[in-house]
Structure 1
């Protein structure tokens, strides 16, 4: 009988140690990771240019260019670093509607924009080379500031 009780306590002790150790590992990692991150001055967003191609039933090739992701969310009154990598298309001249921001994203290169929106709203990132379907567009991304 004494051996059975000792075995029960032994297994109970092992279970408690396992649960305690597991809790420590998962929570200490969360605390360490959260504690090692300082509140960043800049909010970073990454985007790419992409292309979609298809054929119609009569064999005509149709294509469209896009920013990916097509919608991004940006906090108001926060410095934002928007990095756009050119994957498809030779170059994409762009504007951000409602701002003075403009530039060109080139294939194989990164374009980095330092942005700071002080007004809430929806701003459109528009590729002026692909502004409508006649020019393989519209290539528009939405920047939602709130």
Structure 2
């Protein structure tokens, strides 16, 4: 009996190792074809980044209701000189007029609509996408996203 138990344990160990190898190989094969998707526009590569407007609501122990609006994702990354089309879909809130700090870029995101913003920065740094309706806690914010340019 002891001999059979050792053989079963060894067989189970070999079987577990086999499944681990097959799983890892399958994952590698599925990921091997991944690449960054770039939409070509007039011969210039433009990367699309999608963002949405979101809202959080909660009730304090006192019964007071609080809410906050956010951009999601809250941070995006791009390279200096890279061309990006930021597509923002309005999910929560009637509308969100915005500007990107230290630029002339501005627009409005409306509920149920997409707003496309073409971006390209010549200087590295962090640029803030600020909703003008929700700029701080007193106005159910801050609704600020960060655009990090390297």
Q: Structure 2 CA distance, aligned partners of 1:115 and 1:70?
A: 16
Q: Structure 1 CA distance, aligned partners of 2:80 and 2:110?
A: 28
TM-score, length-normalised on structure 1?
0.75
- 1:56/1:144 Cα in 2 relative to 1: closer, same or farther (>3 Å)? same
Asked if the contact 2:38/2:48 (under 8 Å) is kept, the reply is: no
Structure 2 residue aligned with 1:45: 49
Gaps in structure 1 of 5+ consecutive residues: 1-18
Q: Structure 1 CA distance, aligned partners of 2:137 and 2:96?
A: 15
Max radius of gyration: which structure? 1
- 1:60/1:85 Cα in 2 relative to 1: closer, same or farther (>3 Å)? same
Tell me which stretches of 4 or more aligned residues in structure 1 moved more than 4 Å: 37-40
Counterparts in 2 of 1:79-118, with a 5 A limit?
79-118=83-122
Asked if the contact 2:38/2:46 (under 8 Å) is kept, the reply is: no
CA RMSD for the aligned pairs? 2.4
Q: Structure 1 CA distance, aligned partners of 2:110 and 2:142?
A: 18
Gaps in structure 2 of 5+ consecutive residues: 1-21
Would you say how many aligned residue pairs link Structure 1 and Structure 2? Answer: 120
TM-score, length-normalised on structure 2?
0.73
